[in-house]
Every structure is written in C-alpha cells, then in structure tokens.
Amino acid sequence: MARILVVDDEEGVRSFLAEALEFEGHSVTTAADGDEAARLLAKQGVDLLLTDLRMPGLDGLSLLRKVKEEQPDVEVVVLTAVGTVESAVAAMKAGAFDYLLKPVGSPAELRLTVARALERRALLNWKTEARQSTGEVELSWGAAAMVPVVEALRKVAPTQATVLLVGESGTGKEVTARALHQWSERADGPFVAVNCAALTETLLESELFGHEKGAFTGAVAQRRGRIELAQGGTFFLDEVGELKAELQAKLLRVLQERRFERVGGTRTLEADVRWVAATNRDLKGMMARGEFREDLYHRLAVFPIRLPSLRERREDLRPLAELLLRRIGEELGRPGLRLSSEALARLEAFTWPGNVRELRNALERAAILADGPVVEPRHLWLDPTGAPGPVDAPAPEGGRLPSLTLEELERRAIEQAIADEAGNRKRAAQRLGIGLRTLYDKLRRYEAP
Ligand SMILES: Nc1ncnc2c1ncn2[C@@H]1O[C@H](COP(=O)(O)OP(=O)(O)OP(=O)(O)O)[C@@H](O)[C@H]1O
Ligand SMILES: [Mg+2]
C-alpha cells in the first residue's frame, strides 16, 4: 500500500483515479490544483504524485520541478492529453517516471504504471538501505545439515563465481543470497533482485537491460535497467526456472560475455555484477525435457548449493523459532514473547512443508492470538497438510476458543491474511475465501469510529 497524491482540476478525473487506486489498496489524497498540492506535500509524506500537466495556477510541470527539488524520492507520473506529448517529454526530462494519456480509459494501464513507479521507488530505497547497512544478516544456521552449506557459502561468497541456490519454497533462498552479498567484497555495492516469475517477457527485458528512447511505443526517455543499477554489486535472479526460452537466450549472452545493450540501443555496456540465482524447480529435469537451456544451466550452476528443508534440519527448529519469535515480538512491540515447552514440542512434531516461511507465519499468528507473553499450543494453528499423524485440526485446548468475540476473531484473521500476503489485498481476499469488495467493506467497518 502506498500513499498517493492525485492532482487534477477536473473533479471527474480526480475521483475516477482516486477510486481506482483506492480499490488497489492505496491511500489516496486529492488536490484540485498545483498550489493545493504543494501545500499538501509540505504537510504530509507521499510515495507517488500523479498530476495533470495543464492546470490553473501552479501547473503540473512546475509542481513536478518543485517536488523533484524538495523531495527527490517521490515518484511522479504525469497525465497528459492526447496531442500534447511534447509536454510529456518535458516532464520526463524533469524527472517524471512515466506519463499516462488522458483520458485514462483503462484502470489496468493506470494500475500497471503506478505499480512500476512504486516498484522502482522501492528498489532505489532498498539500494540506499543496502549500502548503509553494515550489520551481518541474522540467520539461524546451527543444524548439522547446515554445516557443509554454511561452509560452502563462506568460501564462495568472496569469489566472483555464479551461485545457484536450490531449495524448496521457504527454505531461505533469498536471505541466503543476501548473506552471500554481505559476505562478499561487493557488500558496499547494491543488491538488486528480480523475480523472473513476476514480470512479463517484454517488461522483464526492459527491466533487466533498460531501454533507449523510442525503443518501443511508450519509451519516451532512456531508462537504465536493473543490471545497470546493480553495477558493482550483486544481481539476484529469483525463480530463474520460470524464465521463458527467449529470455534464457538473452540472459545467457550477458552471463557469457558480461556485456549487454539496452533495448533498442547499439552501445554495448559492461555488466559488472556478481550473479546469484535461485529456484525451487528441478532445473535438470527441465533441461532433460527441453524446457531449460543446457548452456544456461551450466553458466548458472557454476557453484550450486542446495538448501535443506526444515525436515532435514530438525535441530534448527528450536533456535530458529526463538529467533523468529524474538523478531516478531520486536515488530509487534511485545518483547519477551516465548514458547511454552508444549508449544515447542508441537512445532517439533510438525513437518513444515512450507519450511521457515511457514514457521514464521505460524509464529506470527500465534503471537497475535496469545494475549500474554507465552505462546501455548492452542495459539498454534498449523495447516493440517503438515500434520505428523492424523489430521491435526486447529482445535484449541480443551475445546475452548481463546476468549474472543467472533468479530475480533474475524479481524485477526483478516490482519493476518494481509500480513501474510505482504499487504496485497487481492491475494489476502483469496486466501480468506471472500471477495475483494467484501474485504474492503470489512476493513472500512473496522476503521469507522
Ligand atoms: N536461517 C534462517 N534464519 C532466520 N530466518 C530465516 C532463515 N531462513 C529463512 N528465514 C526466514 O524465512 C522466510 C523465508 O525465507 P526466504 O524468502 O529467503 O525463502 P525462499 O527460499 O526464497 O522462499 P520462496 O521459495 O517461497 O521464495 C523469511 O522470512 C526469512 O527471513
Ligand atoms: Mg524467494
């Protein structure tokens, strides 16, 4: 969820945009002209400014320049009428992220542009954060099964070798990639991740390589891709098994030659990045079926590391659970949260098909349900699919529910689903088995005084 300021002198346009963005779960403020927008910006923080260009008083372009000068990390998307694309170009030169043609007919286009602008902002913020953080990643890796893994990681981290992390979902592939970065000589450089499954082919290509002005419709300005943003640092290719054939070929070339061109460009740029890739798929099997290029596999798997599942490292369960619960306690402002020995026994008996991520989610849920500092078995709602014996339904101790009203219970379930889905309300609604509309209605009701 982001904070978005919508500026347009037409009431109809304002409310259309505000509604569409609120539906996505953003918190939206509106202003009728540039002056009002400038006043609002001075008072409240925003992540994204969506502004019309032609307005009475302070116009959109002047507003954009002012924002870029005073709050450069606010992303700006401008709205421009058909036939006045020159003004859009001027806006892009002044630092706008993108532009949308008016009238904005499709909410999908709006959604995509806004999502990309916010993603870019998150990426840039992350880069500065990554640069500033010097601390080690706090990981719990004590189990015997982890010893050879950690030893391999320590040895390969300072080299330039491409590392392929393989492991079931939730085994810690991403945190491991970050650890590799922090233990390398590139730790002061950026860590840039791209999820190969989340972007479409065309988007992925321009995200990775960037594009030149005019490379395709909509490319009104040159844009640097993520490989360029990652110069001097580590590039993490997450879910690399999802790459389509055409991109596999393009990626292979960068890995082989350490060079690339922006989409639509002729100049060859050097890729000074250390590659780390991750997958939960069986790349060798995919290779045998012709779904994954053999040459690419060998480029990626210079140094393959398999992360064991939580089932294979049972001794880690206790220290991991304690570490995670401590962190959750800090996040919730409830330090001192701990597990009763019965609760721990219950966790130890569980099979954890979703590995560390599932453990973390279970603990977070339990922490929310437990009113006091101690997590008891009745607070642990474990998914029956991972139960050790006969179906282990979330039956509370003694058949009694914790003393909650139905409404409180519902509210907690909703908060949990939203947290599990990292704020994505559409997926949270799916997880809860209700419609998005219903979810919004319920949220609104909670917010009502
Ligand atoms: N050794 C560890 N110590 C502490 N926390 C860990 C450890 N391993 C994983 N985690 C935590 O578990 C969660 C899942 O880890 P991560 O996202 O790295 O897994 P993943 O393998 O990338 O999962 P997926 O395949 O679902 O993308 C994160 O919250 C992470 O912080
Ligand atoms: Mg991952």
Q: Which residues of 86-104 are buried (b: 16+ CB within 10 A; e: fewer)?
A: ebbbbbbebebbbbbbbeb
What is the mean predicted confidence (pLDDT) over 189-203? 83
Ligand 1 atom nearest 278 alpha carbon: 22
Residue nearest to atom 16 of ligand 1 (CA): 172
**Paired strand residues for 100:** 79
Which of 103 and 312 is assigned the larger pLDDT?
Answer: 312
Ligand 1 atom nearest 169 alpha carbon: 25
Nearest ligand (C-alpha, residue 168): 1
Q: What is the pLDDT of residue 403?
A: 52
Per-residue pLDDT for 203 more than 90? no
Is 164 in contact with 279 (CB distance < 8 Å)?
yes
Q: Which domains does the chain carry?
A: 3-124 (3.40.50.2300), 143-308 (3.40.50.300), 314-445 (1.10.8.60)
**Paired strand residues for 211:** 223, 263
Q: Is the pTM of this model over 0.85?
A: no
Per-residue pLDDT for 432 more than 90? no
- DSSP code per residue over 67-93: HHHH-TTSEEEEEEETT-HHHHHHHHH
Q: What is the pLDDT of residue 171?
A: 94
Task: Identify which of 153, 313, 357 to mutate to test ligand 1's pocket (most ligand atoms within 8 A of the CB).
Answer: 357
Residue nearest to atom 5 of ligand 1 (CA): 139
How much distance in Å is there from the Cα of 172 to the middle of ligand 2?
A: 7
Encoding tokens for residue 315? Answer: 């001794």
How much distance in Å is there from the Cα of 383 to the middle of ligand 1?
A: 18
Mean pLDDT of the chain: 84
Is 236 in contact with 192 (CB distance < 8 Å)?
yes
Q: What is the pLDDT of residue 420?
A: 78
φ, ψ at 296 (rounded to 5°): -70, -40
**pLDDT tens-digit series, residues 254-300:** 999 999 999 999 899 999 999 999 999 999 999 999 999 999 999 99
For residue 297, the Cα-to-chain-centroid distance in whole angstroms is: 26
Nearest ligand (C-alpha, residue 357): 1
> Does the beta carbon of 357 lie inside 6 Å of ligand 1?
yes
Q: What is the pLDDT of residue 404?
A: 57
Residue nearest to atom 10 of ligand 1 (CA): 172
Band of pLDDT at residue 131, cut at 50, 70 and 90: very low
